[in-house]
Amino acid sequence: MSLKRSIKSGFGFGLTSGIITTLGLIIGLYSGAHSRKVIIGGILTIAVADALSDALGIHIAEESKKHPTIEIWEATLSTLFSKFFFAITFLLPMLIFSLKQAIVVSIVWALLLLTVFSIYVANERGVNPWKVVMEHISIAVLVIILTYYVGIFICHNFS
């Protein structure tokens, strides 16, 4: 059974945004604050506020394309639930491991999820999966590097 376009669109956006946004937040907060409590608060904030924000963004984008109302709501709700779910999965490492280990586990988890979803997307499109994987992983690594240095910059300039 194949998922409808609207559900795939919302799910794919929510999954990707949930992974990249949450990972960036975790890395930035870790490099700037080194506080498990702050990182957990950030994850919960992303899971709620950003999931609702992204869902509204998809809702408005789908409305602008004049899709049927049911498809608009399917994309909206699949974005909301997938963004919330994938963001929340990053809580588990924070609750189980030491902070340093949780960061490593979070990075591995994020890259694994992105790899699996990238392979799925590539297969759906009939293109080389490894090219798609490398493109998506490269962006994730860029997010990791940039947010790490943003956290260090904030720590050193706004303490």
Confidence band (pLDDT; 50, 70, 90) for 1?
very low
Model confidence over 91-121: pLDDT tens digits? 999 999 999 999 999 999 999 999 999 999 9
In the chain, domain spans: 5-157
Question: Per residue in 72-110, is it b (16+ CB within 10 Å) or e — as a string?
Answer: bebbbbbbbebbbebbbbbbebbeeeeeeebbebbbebb
Rounded Cα–Cα distance for residues 13 and 147 (Å): 20
Handedness of CA 153, 44, 84, 80 (dihedral sign): negative
Contact criterion met (CB below 8 Å) for 103 and 30: yes
